[in-house]
Amino acid sequence: MSVHSVPNKVRNRKIKWQALQKHFGRAAAECFVSQLTLRAGVEKLEKELGAELFERT
């Protein structure tokens, strides 16, 4: 399943986990997806909103 076909509710849940975990790898593991998939979903949402959601180090 491509990140572009993930329903918004599921994508938002994954992003919520990332925010709670403050770590893409741990959040991805909690959501049973790859870190790349989670990061792509976050980047897509950031592009849609026109704002950065997370400070990256």
The model's pLDDT over 32-42, given as tens digits with 9 standing for 90+, comes to 888 898 888 88
Which has the higher per-residue pLDDT, 11 or 39?
39
What would the two tokens of residue 37 be?
Answer: 């998939």
Give the CATH fold of the 3-49 domain.
Arc Repressor Mutant, subunit A (1.10.10)
Q: pTM for the complete prediction?
A: 0.63
User: What does the pLDDT read at residue 50?
Assistant: 93
Here the contacts of 30-36 (C-beta below 8 Å, separation 24 or greater) are none
